[in-house]
Structure 1
Amino acid sequence: MTGKDEENKLWVRRFNPRDDSGLRLVCLPHAGGSASFYLPVAHAAPSPIDVLAIQYPGRQDRRREPSVATIPELADEVARVLEPWLDQPLALFGHSMGATLAFEVARRLEARHGVVLEALFASGRRAPSRHREENVHRLGDDGVIAELKRLSGTDSQVLGDEDLLRMVLPAIRADYRAVETYVYEPGERLRCPVIGLVGDDDPKVTVDEADSWRDHTEGVFDLHVFTGGHFYLTNHQAAIMKVISDNLLPARTG
């Protein structure tokens, strides 16, 4: 196995490999999240879809690696490691920070490789052009932990374990810094369909802010609103998988 193969395995996780799928769905985690967040998606996806989850540096088995400092830098890295996977049609699903990252990765795939995604699924995140002033990354540890509890995005066992918290807080803070300092650079709109997904009680994004994703594509746009907060998707897994399947599988069957 070459060094490039080893590097790709660090970034790309396949919990339920389907080599004969014909279509790949790449999932990008939220701030502080890991590839394992998408383990249920990998097992629930219908057989025509091969699910790949991205593991960012700075967490779990990559915790000794420095986190990537900015969204553009991280997008460059993800676009690069996806190059070997471009032999089949590709879709991206990103939640929260992962949605912004997915947008920037999609831009790079179109500009550098001429790859138009089957779809970009933007979950729990306002459109790139809708700015909010946020500074969670500047808070002390107690402030960051309070934000995590407010969003219910980190396992309660982790929040209650001081040793685990010491391990994950640097990566969480780095992710918050990257997404909170992200500045949208206007440019050509994407050519792929964009599907927005949002909770109706999400403190991080309003339905109107999620609807503004329509301004970033020349393709079809659709918005799905679910009950719940920032991590609404944990209570709507079956419905979200149906949204994914309805948008991806018809394209594969003609």
Structure 2
Amino acid sequence: MSTSSSWLVTHRRNPSAGRRIVCFPHAGGGASFFRSWAQRLDSDVELQAVQYPGRENRLAEPLMGSMRELAAAAAQALSAEPERETILFGHSMGAAVAYETLRLLESAGTSHVTRLCVSGREMSGFPEAIDSGPRGDDNLMATMADLGGTRSAVLDDPDLRAMVLDIIRNDYHLIDTYRPDPAAARVSAEVVALTGDRDPQVDMAQVKAWESVTTGAFSLHVFSGDHFYLTSHVRSLVEIATAPRARPAARARS
């Protein structure tokens, strides 16, 4: 593992690779979540993951409190990288961060991001009212247990719980207060939506709404599993994410 900046962790460095996939972790997650993906990638694809502040090798850094701030920093880090065909993959909160990062990159003239993969995240159906208060400990632990992403040992051990809850609380506050801009220009990159068929956090119709954010091709893939279905389907996800680009389907004129 090596780093090109504090924001990007390179799990398999290959400067000569023609393509790269950049992964955005879920709430409370870090870049190491995607380390195992390197074993599934073809040799011409480099794997990077975004490392949010306040976790893993950035544990001492202050957390960020808004999607705008987080996406802007990620976009700046990616803009400093050499241009080559790039795929963005985000899971849960990471799907929203990846989408907002792509919007910023495209608005700045970037055209080498060809695909956005959004996993375990809805694009519509959010409550109009925003509860700006942070979640309490009991709410956070119940939510994490329901989603299946945190081992019970982490929730049960007081020292571990104290260490991670502030990070997770901040991330949940970030996503609880985030709303996509309905007037935002559509991106040109292909969009691929992915979800588990037993995910308690997503509604299938609202996952399909990701089609509305792009002028390019769109596809939806449903896997067996809950919110963290992707841990059991790494090979298939890598194949989908790095597959040859699809041609956009004809769209009806409004």
TM-score by length of 1: 0.89
- Provide the secondary structure at the position in 2 that maps to 1:85: coil
**Partner of residue 33 from structure 1, selected from 29, 33, 43:** 29
**1:130 paired to 2:125:** yes
- Provide the secondary structure at the position in 2 that maps to 1:15: strand
Counterpart in 2 of 1:24?
20
Q: How far 1:209 moved relative to its partner?
A: 1.0
* Partner Cα separation in structure 2 for residue 149 and residue 136 of structure 1: 23
Does the 8 Å contact 2:26/2:92 carry over to 1? yes
Counterpart in 2 of 1:194?
191
- Provide the secondary structure at the position in 1 that maps to 2:193: strand
Residue identity opposite 2:83 in structure 1: D
* Partner Cα separation in structure 2 for residue 111 and residue 211 of structure 1: 24
Task: Kindly provide the CA deviation profile for residues 200-239 of structure 1, in whole angstroms up to 9, marking residues without a partner as x.
Answer: 1111111111111000000000000111111111111122
Does the 8 Å contact 2:88/2:116 carry over to 1? yes
Count of residues in correspondence between the two structures: 244
Does the 8 Å contact 2:122/2:207 carry over to 1? yes
Task: Kindly provide the CA deviation profile for residues 105-152 of structure 1, in whole angstroms up to 9, marking residues without a partner as x.
Answer: 00000001332521000000001x431478697332122111111111
More displaced, 150-159 or 181-190? 150-159
Consecutive unaligned residues of structure 1, counting only runs of 5 or more, are 1-5
* Partner Cα separation in structure 2 for residue 94 and residue 36 of structure 1: 14
Task: Kindly provide the CA deviation profile for residues 47-69 of structure 1, in whole angstroms up to 9, marking residues without a partner as x.
Answer: 11101001100112212211111
Counterpart in 1 of 2:98?
102
Residue identity opposite 1:101 in structure 2: V
Residue identity opposite 1:224 in structure 2: H
Does the 8 Å contact 2:31/2:49 carry over to 1? yes
* Partner Cα separation in structure 2 for residue 136 and residue 144 of structure 1: 15
- Residues 1:165 and 1:137: Cα distance change in structure 2 (over 3 Å): farther
Residue identity opposite 1:25 in structure 2: I
* Partner Cα separation in structure 2 for residue 51 and residue 160 of structure 1: 33
Counterpart in 1 of 2:250?
none
* Partner Cα separation in structure 1 for residue 234 and residue 16 of structure 2: 24
Q: How far 1:247 moved relative to its partner?
A: 4.0
Does the 8 Å contact 1:29/1:97 carry over to 2? yes
**Partner of residue 221 from structure 2, selected from 198, 220, 224:** 224
- Residues 1:153 and 1:135: Cα distance change in structure 2 (over 3 Å): farther
**1:179 paired to 2:175:** yes
Identity of matched residues, %: 38
- Residues 1:192 and 1:209: Cα distance change in structure 2 (over 3 Å): same
More displaced, 29-38 or 137-146? 137-146
Counterpart in 1 of 2:55?
59
Structure with bigger helix share is 1
Does the 8 Å contact 1:136/1:147 carry over to 2? no
For residues 20-169 of structure 1, the aligned pairs below 5 Å read: 20-127=16-123, 129-132=124-127, 138-169=134-165
Does the 8 Å contact 2:5/2:77 carry over to 1? no
Structure with bigger strand share is 2
TM-score by length of 2: 0.89
* Partner Cα separation in structure 2 for residue 73 and residue 139 of structure 1: 20
